[in-house]
Structure 1
Amino acid sequence: MSHEASTRSDAGSSPAHAGKGHLVGNVLVFVIMFGMFLLGLYLVSWLSLDNVWPMAALVVLAFLAFFIPQGILGRADTGYNLAEGNRTAEKETSAGVNS
């Protein structure tokens, strides 16, 4: 298993990096995640021992902050193939485990 970078000189034949050509989508995701961050900061100001809802909302925001990028937008289902250097469009089980 080799971890050497590709030495091709022409940019057209080398695979694009993850964000290339997705500016609008990347900006949209950034705005949503940053909005969640600012909402979380605002909710921290409402924390008290008498009111549990701001903390519940913070837990939900924290879950979404990890789940949206990794589970929905990420390529969690093809991570094993990408780690091996294979670029495929088909979806397979993670880590090559068959059930």
Structure 2
Amino acid sequence: MTPDIDAARAEAAKVFEVCGTLPGYCAMMHREGAEGPGDLAVVGTEDRVAAQIHGIIASGATEFVGALFTGDDFAAHPQAARGTGRLSPTAELSPFLDG
């Protein structure tokens, strides 16, 4: 979580660069209208991250796998380490746990 969304997307683009070279990921990014992995990153403030994850669930996703990636300012944003308190694995994510 970070208030600097552009920097976080740029960092995600670097960290997950290899995904942009894999045919399966490229096809998925094309379907989603994403130019690269950075466009698909769930980043932003705690409110924004929670809203993005809820959006993924509401879209009918049957699986969600998130990977924490950090930049140089990770220590300045300790909320990223604890995650967002707005998402309870037994409530909002229950569709993923029931199947």
TM over 0.5: no
Normalising by structure 2, what TM-score?
0.25
Structure number with bigger Rg: 1
* Higher-RCO chain (CA-CA 8 Å, sequence separation at least 6): 2
